[in-house]
Amino acid sequence: MKVVVIGAGVVGTACAWYLAQEGHEVTVVDRREAAGLETSFANGGQVSPCHAEPWANPAVIPKVLKWLGREDAPLLFRWRRWDPALWAWGLRFLANCTAARAAVNTERTLRVALYSRLCLQQLRAETGIQYDQKTKGILHIYRDGGEFAHACAAAELMRRHGLKRLAQSPVECVAIEPALAAVASELAGGIFTPDDESGDAHKFTTGLAALAAAKGVAFRWSVPVSGLVRDGDRVAGLATETGTIAADAYVLAAGCDSPLLARPLGLRLPIVPAKGYSITVPVAGHSGAPSVSITDDEHKMVYSRLGDRLRAAGTAEMTGHDRTLNPRRLAMIQDHARRLFPDGGDFDRAEPWAGLRPVTPDSVPLLGATPLANLWLNTGHGTLGWTMACGSGRLVAALVSGRRPEIDLGGLGLHRKR
Ligand SMILES: Cc1cc2nc3c(=O)[nH]c(=O)nc-3n(C[C@H](O)[C@H](O)[C@H](O)COP(=O)(O)OP(=O)(O)OC[C@H]3O[C@@H](n4cnc5c(N)ncnc54)[C@H](O)[C@@H]3O)c2cc1C
β pairing state of 272-282 and 249-252: unpaired
Q: List, for residues 19-61, the tens digit of each pLDDT value.
A: 999 999 999 999 999 999 999 999 999 999 998 999 999 888 8
pLDDT at 76 over 90: no
User: Tell me: the pLDDT tens digits for 139-161?
Assistant: 999 999 999 998 898 888 888 88
Q: Is the pLDDT of residue 179 over 90?
A: yes
pLDDT at 9: 98
Average pLDDT value for the chain: 94
Question: 60 or 396, which is more confident?
Answer: 396
Ligand 1: which of 4, 30, 351 to mutate, most ligand atoms within 8 Å of CB? 30
Q: Which pairing describes strands 234-240 and 243-245: parallel, antiparallel, or unpaired?
A: antiparallel
Residue 142 burial (CB count, 10 A): 25
For ligand 1, atom 9, which residue shows the shortest CA distance? 46
Q: How far away, in angstroms, is 343 Cα from ligand 1 center?
A: 30
- Domain chopping of the chain, boundaries: 50-55+65-82+134-197+274-359
Q: Look at residue 371 and tell me whether its pLDDT is greater than 80.
A: yes
* Per-residue pLDDT tens over the stretch 311-336: 999 999 888 899 999 999 999 999 99
CA-nearest residue, atom 5 of ligand 1: 44
For residues 80 and 301, which has the higher predicted lDDT (pLDDT)?
301
Q: Residue type for 280, please?
A: T
417, amino acid identity: K
Nearest CA residue ID for atom 33, ligand 1: 7
Read off the pLDDT band of 364 (50, 70, 90).
very high
Question: Is the pLDDT at 280 greater than 80, yes or no?
Answer: yes
pLDDT of residue 302: 98
Q: What topology is assigned to 50-55+65-82+134-197+274-359 in CATH? A: D-Amino Acid Oxidase; Chain A, domain 2 (3.30.9)
Half-sphere exposure of 256 toward its Cβ, with a 13 Å CA cutoff? 22
- What pLDDT is stored for residue 359 in this prediction? 97
pLDDT at 170: 97
Residues 6+ apart with CB under 8 A from 331: none
Q: CB-based contacts of 125: which residues, under 8 Å, 6+ apart?
A: none
Whole-number Å distance, alpha carbon 175 to ligand 1 midpoint, is 34
The atom of ligand 1 lying closest to the CA of 46 is: 8
DSSP assignment of 335-380: HHHHHH-TTSS-GGGPEEEEEEEEE-TTS--EEEE-SSTTEEEEE-
The pLDDT value recorded for residue 72 is 74
Q: Report in angstroms the alpha-carbon separations of 407 from 358, 391, 404.
A: 23, 10, 8
State pLDDT tens for residues 220-277: 999 999 999 999 999 999 999 999 999 999 999 999 999 999 999 999 999 999 999 9
pLDDT digits (tens, 9 = 90+) for 293-302: 999 988 999 9
Q: Whose CA is nearest to atom 41 of ligand 1?
A: 225
- Identify the pLDDT of residue 78: 72
**CA 54 to ligand 1 centroid distance, Å:** 18
What is the pLDDT, as a whole number, of residue 81? Answer: 65
What's the 9 CA to ligand 1 centre distance in angstroms?
A: 6
**Least confident span in 141-145, 156-160, 206-210, 385-389:** 156-160
Give kind and range of the element (H or E) at residue 412. Answer: none
Cα separation, 345 vs 325, in Å, equals: 22
Write out residues with Cβ below 6 Å of ligand 1. 6-12, 29-32, 37-40, 43-46, 48, 224-225, 253-255, 257, 261, 276-278, 302, 313, 355, 357-358, 379, 381-387
Between CA 190 and CA 172 the distance in angstroms is 8
- Mode of pairing for the β-strands spanning 2-6 and 25-29: parallel
Q: How many CB atoms lie within 10 A of CB 33?
A: 8
The region of weakest confidence among 23-27, 65-69, 165-169 is 65-69
What is the number of the ligand 1 atom nearest to the C-alpha of 378?
26
- Positive or negative CA dihedral for 252, 397, 367, 375? positive
Q: How far is CA 247 from the centre of its chain?
A: 28
- CA–CA gap between residue 337 and residue 311 (Å, rounded): 9
| 258, 5 contact by CB (below 8 A) | no
Which residue is closest in CA terms to ligand 1's atom 12? Answer: 384
Kind of pairing between the strands at 75-77 and 309-318: parallel
Answer yes or no: is pLDDT of 287 > 70: yes
**Residue to probe by mutation, ligand 1, list 32, 244, 257, most atoms within 8 Å of CB:** 257
Choose which residue among 13, 357, 378, 390 to substitute to test ligand 1 binding: the one with the highest number of ligand atoms within 8 A of its C-beta. Answer: 357
Report how far apart, in Å, the C-alpha atoms of 387 and of each of 47, 64, 119, 383 are: 4, 26, 10, 9
Reported as a single tens digit per residue, the pLDDT across 331-361 is 999 999 999 999 999 999 999 999 999 999 9
Query: What is residue 418's predicted lDDT score, i.e. its pLDDT?
Result: 63
Q: How far apart are CA 254 and CA 206, in angstroms?
A: 16
